[in-house]
Amino acid sequence: MTDTHSKTHENKVPLHALERATLFGTLTHLWPYIWPSDRADLKARVAWSMVLLLIAKVATLIVPFTFKWATDALSGTGSAPIAPSNWMLWAIASPIAMTASYGLVRVLMAVFTQWRDGIFASVAMHAVRKLAYLTFVHMHELSLRFHLERKTGGLTRVLERGREGIEVIVRMVILQAIPTVVELALVMAVLVWQFDWRYAAVVALTVILYCWFTYIATEWRIEIRRKMNESDSDANTKAIDSLLNYETVKYFSAEAREAERYDRSVARFERASVKTYTSLAVLNAGQAVIFTIGLTLTMMLCVTGIRSGTHTVGDFVMVNAMMIQLYQPLNLVGMMYREIKQAIIDIEKLFGVLNRDAEVKDRPGVLPLAVSDGAIRFDDVRFSYDPERPILKGLSFEVPAGKTVAVVGPSGAGKSTISRLLYRLYDVSGGRITIDGQDIRDVTQSSLRASIGMVPQDTVLFNDTIRYNIRYGRWDASDEEVEEAARMAQIDPFIRMAPRGYETEVGERGLKLSGGEKQRVAIARTVLKAPPILLLDEATSALDSHTEQEIQDALEKVSKGRTSLVIAHRLSTIVGADEIIVLEQGRIAERGTHAQLLVAGGLYASMWNRQREAEAAREKLAQIGEDGTSAPNRRPPLVEEGGEEPVVRPDAAE
């Protein structure tokens, strides 16, 4: 395995403990990213952010004092007399000076607060980026089974909301929760020092009731929020699924049905969203009522003190300013609780993805695959996607170095399963697969896959240029090497005719190209990779006869001198194979050369004859069409000749 991959695993936290996402568990596992051991600069930013936090909060508390002093200076009472005997003191304590001090302290409060936020931004976004990276890597480590079962639209929403949820928790706890706790503690201390314990008691009771109500109301809103998220994911999944199947929708004129299906999902999201906003209004109203009562009580206490002569009008203004100033962080407490709880909901499914272990893993201490000849051997291989439905039942055969072996058989026989096992997308249930005598489970997956070139039946391309998709075979290849690979795959003339040549965009999944063009790109990609072993999984089964012959010619050039395992549907493409293995229900029914199998008159000969008859019938129909005569009115078979009805399931063998 590469150094980068190993480093990824070294930095990866054991997120399996977060089966039930909690704030404490989340913070515990986020801490290594907030306080990274290998980043002294980020640690310094965290420390400096805390210093700025304290300075900003001290400035925040001074603001009500300057307000009080200015008011007392105007009224000529209290701690700031309007006309002291000393003119210098008068200048310092004058209403204008006190008002200027009020403005200056507010500016300092804002500057230090924003400075802290700016300093800490790098820490927060580093944590988000690192976790997003680990999640992306983990997604690629998960097994093929997971990716066959997943719904792309719903999964992308889970990842998006999970990433946003992690950002919310980091930002809320460090930039909001800790400052709020510090400010609340300072306010309580000032109230006891400047006034008396009754003020602190009223404020403490207000905070307790405020937090209690926020907790009760937020817990009530949690289920509403969860249903809104589920309906949002469902609507997004249906939209993406429908758009990915755009052509199928058109084939069956199903636009109205798809729109109605999508609208039903959006309607559920609409109802859940309305409930979410309604419940939020109830929560905000309750919080405002509780705080207003607390504010009124503290001001009434101060009014009593003014009448008794123990307080000044400036104290009344100070209490009001301090309580109003406290409302902002207190309101943030409610918002923080809501946001953190909602963020925890949002990352529950993300943690579920992170907790899911990959079925195929490198064993500790394994070495890279060392390919000398490239000989492949299946030794009593057994496999099943479902324990109750075995697919391969003791399969044994060998692909000698530099030779071509083809595997054929009816649908459901287990042909494509062979390619998945050789690529270690799954591990065998029994037996073993070796390359040059090395069990593929005892070598690194990266080295195994680097040694095998795959040309699949259905080539899916990246939504980028032709050059990008060919270069994907070997990323450090030069432009000249990319173009040489295209020439070997017989696609260079087509590319040259395109207006933008190799910079032509292929569209999502390569839909701007024809089937034959996509296959040629896949072949060029494999040529550029230059692997010692080739794996061709029904690479021409979906093409017309003319294109198939061109692709076959390109494949023969590519496979020359390489060990090749061919999974074939059209038997005409493998007549020159060194050996043909015929599978039936997970076992080898026949094996031999094309001529030997025809002479044997078994399953292979039957499949060959049926395909020849089908091809002859198609040629006859084509000829009738050219003569202007109506073709016979008959329906094409729904099941491939010689095959079984396919099983529609994500982990089907074919």
In the predicted structure, residue 396 carries a pLDDT above the cut 50: yes
Question: Who has greater pLDDT, 78 or 275?
Answer: 275
Residues 69 and 132 in one domain: yes
Burial class (CB in 10 A: 0-12, 13-18, 19+), 530: middle
In the predicted structure, residue 448 carries a pLDDT above the cut 50: yes
Classify strands 389-399 and 438-439 as parallel, antiparallel or unpaired. unpaired
The whole-angstrom separation of Cα 113 and Cα 178 is 13
pLDDT value of residue 328? 76
For the stretch 587-629, pLDDT in tens is 889 999 999 999 988 888 998 888 888 777 766 776 665 555 4
pLDDT tier, 546 (very low <50, low <70, confident <90, very high otherwise): low
Q: Provide the b/e sequence for 215-250 (b: ≥16 CB within 10 Å).
A: eebbeebeebbebbbebbbbbbbbbbbbeeeeeebe
Q: What are the tokens at 160?
A: 């998006």
Least confident stretch, 354-363, 369-378, 440-449: 354-363
Instruction: Tell me if 355 sits within 8 A of 340, measured CB to CB.
Output: no
Residues 293 and 395 in one domain: no
- The CB-side HSE value for 294 (13 A sphere, CA atoms) comes to 24
Least confident stretch, 199-208, 310-319, 325-334, 358-367: 325-334
Mean pLDDT value across residues 449-473? 84
Mean pLDDT value across residues 305-318? 80
For the stretch 178-208, pLDDT in tens is 787 887 888 888 888 888 888 888 888 988 8
Residues 484 and 405 in one domain: no
pLDDT value of residue 154? 60
Residues 177 and 324 in one domain: yes
Q: Which domain holds residue 467?
A: 458-540
The whole-angstrom separation of Cα 27 and Cα 176 is 14
Residues 316 and 396 in one domain: no
Residues 225 and 303 in one domain: yes
pLDDT tier, 529 (very low <50, low <70, confident <90, very high otherwise): confident
Residues 504 and 400 in one domain: no
Mean pLDDT value across residues 240-245? 82
- The CB-side HSE value for 339 (13 A sphere, CA atoms) comes to 18
In the predicted structure, residue 67 carries a pLDDT above the cut 80: no
Looking at every residue in the chain, the average pLDDT score rounds to: 77
pLDDT value of residue 3? 41
pLDDT value of residue 542? 53
Q: How many domains does the chain have?
A: 3
pLDDT tier, 327 (very low <50, low <70, confident <90, very high otherwise): confident
pLDDT value of residue 380? 92
The alpha carbon of 178 is separated from its chain's Cα centroid by a whole number of angstroms, namely 30
pLDDT value of residue 8? 40
Least confident stretch, 70-79, 114-123, 240-249, 348-357: 70-79
Residues 295 and 150 in one domain: yes
pLDDT tier, 151 (very low <50, low <70, confident <90, very high otherwise): low
pLDDT value of residue 626? 53
Count of other CB atoms within 10 angstroms of residue 120:
23
In the predicted structure, residue 566 carries a pLDDT above the cut 80: yes
| Domain stop point among 540, 567, 582 | 540
For the stretch 16-51, pLDDT in tens is 434 455 677 777 777 887 888 888 888 888 888 888
Quick one: CA dihedral 539, 541, 546, 547, positive or negative? negative
Residues 265 and 141 in one domain: yes
pLDDT tier, 640 (very low <50, low <70, confident <90, very high otherwise): very low
Residues 213 and 70 in one domain: yes
Mean pLDDT value across residues 151-168? 71
Domain CATH code at residue 169: 1.20.1560.10
Question: Is residue 547 domain-resident?
Answer: no
pLDDT value of residue 622? 62
Count of other CB atoms within 10 angstroms of residue 257:
12
| Domain stop point among 485, 505, 540 | 540
Long-range contacts made by residues 493-497, C-beta under 8 angstroms, separation at least 24?
Answer: 494/520, 495/466
pLDDT tier, 432 (very low <50, low <70, confident <90, very high otherwise): very high
- Amino acid 99 reads T
Question: Who has greater pLDDT, 156 or 487?
Answer: 487
Q: Provide the b/e sequence for 151-163 (b: ≥16 CB within 10 Å).
A: bebbbebbbebbb
pLDDT value of residue 652? 37
| Domain stop point among 540, 561, 580 | 540
pLDDT tier, 641 (very low <50, low <70, confident <90, very high otherwise): very low
Residues 390 and 254 in one domain: no
Task: Using a pLDDT cut of 70, give the percent of the chain over it.
Answer: 82
The whole-angstrom separation of Cα 545 and Cα 71 is 94
Question: Is residue 159 domain-resident?
Answer: yes
Domain CATH code at residue 530: 3.40.50.300
Question: Is residue 566 domain-resident?
Answer: no
- How are the residues of the chain apportioned to helix, strand and coil, as percentages rounded to the nearest 5? 65, 10, 25
Residues 264 and 383 in one domain: no
pLDDT value of residue 5? 41
In the predicted structure, residue 152 carries a pLDDT above the cut 70: no
Mean pLDDT value across residues 643-649? 36
Instruction: Tell me if 395 sits within 8 A of 378, measured CB to CB.
Output: yes
pLDDT value of residue 97? 73
